[in-house]
Structure 1
């Protein structure tokens, strides 16, 4: 499975007061803005192994990578309405280093942004689920002449996905011992080949420093429901991506799409969408010419799909999942359906951007950079 992606912003306000002349009524001060939530600083050791998910990577799934992670988390505290909707999750950034103890893979360096949801919490212990995405750098990728055995990583820059369960127990007033079990995934989304990707089941052991423990959320009046619940909208968007056809052909082919999606906000946390998409993948033109017996009367490589989607909302940020079915597909280079997962961010109420991974039956097709407008 391939993945990526990712923007989380925490806004801090400035204190303000309202002063009126002395002969008028007594001055009324506005309530001060909410203070940011407490910080958690963590240092973790990691031990893992490489899953041999395909025979092409069995020769690399023999070592036991080890690593270290530094992370900084901000505990949401109720200063934004969505904090309470998700029971005060944490937002963090992590720096991760891995040594693969294998000269073919060498090392990797990654930076991820993540969100952590509490599954169980008492004053002295907690169980959290964490999900994050970011970018990773591999200094020793596949090279046909100098590193042809590296069937896993073919580009220096890759996307990464993290998911894990973490158990934190207090050993001092501000210090917690953390143990965790998770999965790290690295892939370039087929922008370069070969792209088998790395899946690393990982065991974590480390220390957290908690600025505040136990955590106490802000005491704030209940927020009204968002005004747009039950309202319909229209998303118009276009995307661009790049693909490499095979390891021997280093050319990057442009993949474009356009979409028209009708949506409806059904709750505080969710949007549902349905619509049509069109795709033009230029790598399929080259693929046709390389495999066809004759270059005359070749089928159209353009595709159109009917898509059903869901958006999980975190303020301006949304986690996007789509399931699509091709309704126009003359050149059958893939299955009749596709999936998409990504992150979408609204820069304004109308303008948004997104980073999506389009896949066919779990295999990455293209990493899409998307821009759109909401009407």
Structure 2
């Protein structure tokens, strides 16, 4: 009888640990500057954005959540207001974002983490050919926001902490309408966190590093405004590549991306819009999550398709089941975003 009692008690304790969740609410003020990433933007970039974030986050301390990332991490929802300090031309952004924040290092008082997020922004001043021709940052009131934010947190008490952040923000419409230079604005932030639940971190064993090269194939789809006809046309991509782990969360890789852009005008054949691009890549790997950054060089592209010889692609993928992953990516030329797409990947 005693064995059964202690067995049940142990099961309840373990399930209690699995169910433990840390919860916190953050309030942060921010101040920054706009990067004039092309000569056309220098004049309207001479302002200092300021704003405020309200952020609610939860951290599940269960082993299954740990395995998804090989780390303890917060998932959250952030509401932000950013005033670009140029009311008549650029206006303000009201954004709602989903966030992911892995803890990279921690002791009793200090913690270092990297917050990232993606969401939707409402912009109250956009490009208009007659009333607002200067704003070539964005032309759509509904746009996307992406940000990466290194963060240092200092624990003041059991329920309170302070934080210092450096955020790199990007807002654009993903190429859904033009002009769409996109706005890039780093911001320094100072804030406080109020903990509603706070439990110590359990100790889990990290997974072993893969010893072999990881190969993958990937396909993607999006649409763009056509250069040669009315309406939107499909953009299709096929990717083959590999990566090799260097550390638990870092890997290097390479591959080849083939993109067929039906939105581009051609002179003789649609094959001119087939753009092969070899790339090198860096991967941040957090269990099932793969955030990778690729640098690709065009080996062929249609005449008149931008002046760049290279592009960057930022992809966020989540492994759904077995070796299948799904996510999205952003393609950019320098600091100028071109489009976003949906991606499916299979590794072997």
- TM above 0.5, yes or no, is yes
Cα deviation, residue 354, structure 1: 2.0
Q: Give the equivalent residue in structure 2 for 1:319.
A: 291
Structure 1 gap ranges (5+): 1-21, 289-294
Q: Give the equivalent residue in structure 2 for 1:373.
A: 346
Bigger share in strand: 2
* Contact persistence 1:299–1:331 (CA under 8 A): no
Structure (1 or 2) with the larger CA radius of gyration: 1
In structure 2, the CA distance between the partners of 1:362 and 1:331, relative to structure 1 (3 Å rule), is same
The number of equivalent residue pairs is: 338
Find the partner of 1:355 among 328, 335, 338. Answer: 328
Find the partner of 2:45 among 58, 61, 72. Answer: 61
Within 5 A, what are the aligned runs for 1:174-193? 174-193=159-178
1:66-110 CA-to-partner distances (Å, cap 9, x unmatched) read 322110123464624458854x34333311112334033232121
Mapped to 2, the partners of 1:259 and 1:84 lie a distance apart of 25
Find the partner of 2:23 among 39, 64, 83. Answer: 39
Find the partner of 1:261 among 238, 241, 245. Answer: 241
Bigger share in helix: 2
Cα deviation, residue 199, structure 1: 2.3
Mapped to 2, the partners of 1:270 and 1:304 lie a distance apart of 26
More divergent stretch after superposition (295-304 vs 96-105): 295-304
SS state at 1:313 partner:
strand
Mapped to 2, the partners of 1:349 and 1:75 lie a distance apart of 24
* Contact persistence 2:69–2:286 (CA under 8 A): no
* Contact persistence 2:69–2:287 (CA under 8 A): no
Structure 2 gap ranges (5+): none
In structure 2, the CA distance between the partners of 1:281 and 1:149, relative to structure 1 (3 Å rule), is same
In structure 2, the CA distance between the partners of 1:191 and 1:76, relative to structure 1 (3 Å rule), is same
Tell me if 1:205 matches 2:190. Answer: yes
Within 5 A, what are the aligned runs for 1:225-240? 225=208, 229-231=210-212, 234-240=215-221
Mapped to 1, the partners of 2:280 and 2:164 lie a distance apart of 38
Cα deviation, residue 204, structure 1: 2.4
1:237-261 CA-to-partner distances (Å, cap 9, x unmatched) read 3212233468xx9843322112233
Mapped to 1, the partners of 2:118 and 2:177 lie a distance apart of 19
Q: Give the equivalent residue in structure 1 for 2:116.
A: 131
Q: Give the equivalent residue in structure 2 for 1:71.
A: 55
SS state at 1:260 partner:
strand
1:178-229 CA-to-partner distances (Å, cap 9, x unmatched) read 343433221223332212222223232332102356x621145x35526xx2
RMSD of the TM alignment (CA)? 3.6
SS state at 1:110 partner:
strand
Cα deviation, residue 164, structure 1: 3.1
Tell me if 1:303 matches 2:247. Answer: no
In structure 2, the CA distance between the partners of 1:263 and 1:224, relative to structure 1 (3 Å rule), is closer
Mapped to 1, the partners of 2:322 and 2:270 lie a distance apart of 44
Cα deviation, residue 136, structure 1: 1.8
1:118-173 CA-to-partner distances (Å, cap 9, x unmatched) read 56644344454433333322243223244322211112232222233444444554
Mapped to 1, the partners of 2:246 and 2:154 lie a distance apart of 38
Mapped to 1, the partners of 2:166 and 2:243 lie a distance apart of 37
In structure 2, the CA distance between the partners of 1:117 and 1:35, relative to structure 1 (3 Å rule), is same
Tell me if 1:107 matches 2:56. Answer: no
